[in-house]
Amino acid sequence: MNTASPPSLRARKKAETWSAIHEAAAGLALERGVEGATVEAIATAAGVSQRTFFNYFPAKEDAVLGMRAPSLDPELLEGFSLEHDLLGQVSRLLLAVTRSAYAGRDAERRRQLLEDHPSLGRRRHELTLEAEALVRRTLAELLAADPEWSAGIGEHRVDDVARMLVILSGVPLRFAITAEGYSPAHGLPAEDHESALTLFHRLQEKL
């Protein structure tokens, strides 16, 4: 049974303001282009001050795309184990953390904006790197706390091991999103990710 309490009035107000700014930014970018969607114009359209805008978004590109800094929900680490299918677990964790940056739910509009304005892709890439860094730091902490991993591997420290694991875990994700038929607007289906992981593991066995 779900016993979670409903969001507070303050939380609802913050969510409404975030959505208002995002909707204004995306709408203006579609209408005027990213250059024409200035912070001043976005704030005016959303009915907020420019100071309020920057309380919610560090840059207008984030507001246009409906993105925020990625986060790692502690619940994602429940059941996480260093003893089995580590690459598969890290790959799933990386996907979840990357998705946390996509707060705006209109994926088709985001796809259209990215297609029409390639400069927005740079900001999306930066947030993807932030997600990878967050997973890498978390993984390094888990490895450092485990006697089997804390010494690192050879001359490579735990941080290096964590970085390599995150890079490797991204391979199945890249394989899945570059496959024919993948739709950015619909996102990556869990079954496609799992299929890519299966191939990845079988390939490892043959190498």
Q: What is the pLDDT of residues 126-175, one digit of tens each?
A: 999 999 999 999 999 999 999 999 999 999 999 999 999 999 999 999 99
pLDDT at residue 10, as a whole number: 86
SS3 state of residue 156: strand
Whole-model pTM: value is 0.88
In 3D space, the residue among 139, 200, 127 whose CA is nearest the CA of residue 170 turns out to be 200
* 67 and 60 Cβ atoms separated by less than 8 Å: no
* 123 and 61 Cβ atoms separated by less than 8 Å: yes
Region 16-43 average pLDDT: 96
Using one digit for the tens of pLDDT, what is the confidence trace for 67-121? 999 999 999 999 999 999 999 999 999 999 999 999 988 888 999 999 999 999 9
Angle between helices 120-144 and 86-99 (to 10 degrees): 140
| Better-predicted residue by pLDDT, 10 or 32 | 32
pLDDT at residue 1, as a whole number: 47
In 3D space, the residue among 99, 92, 84 whose CA is nearest the CA of residue 131 turns out to be 99
Report residue 46 CA to chain centroid gap.
25
